[in-house]
């Protein structure tokens, strides 16, 4: 039971990390468009 909970936390963490990286890339793209 505890192991399952820990695994779920890791899955959530990894998903958030991926979302954060995608958001960062989008922000960089928007910034580069704005600076033209």
Average pLDDT of the segment spanning 4-17: 97
Determine the average pLDDT of the residues in 7-33: 98
d(CA 10, CA 16): 10
Please tell me what DSSP assigns to residue 27. Answer: H
- The pLDDT score that the predictor gives to residue 16 is 98
CA–CA distances in Å: residue 33 to residues 2, 5, 10, 25, 29: 47, 42, 35, 12, 6
Which letter does DSSP use for residue 35 in this model?
Answer: T
The residue that leads in pLDDT, 36 or 14, is 14
Q: What is the pTM assigned to this prediction?
A: 0.68
Using a pLDDT cut of 70, give the percent of the chain over it.
Answer: 100
């Amino acid at each position: 039971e505890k192991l399952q909970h820990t695994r779920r936390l890791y899955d959530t963490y990894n998903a958030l990390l991926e979302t954060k990286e995608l958001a960062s890339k989008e922000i960089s793209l928007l910034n580069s468009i704005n600076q033209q």
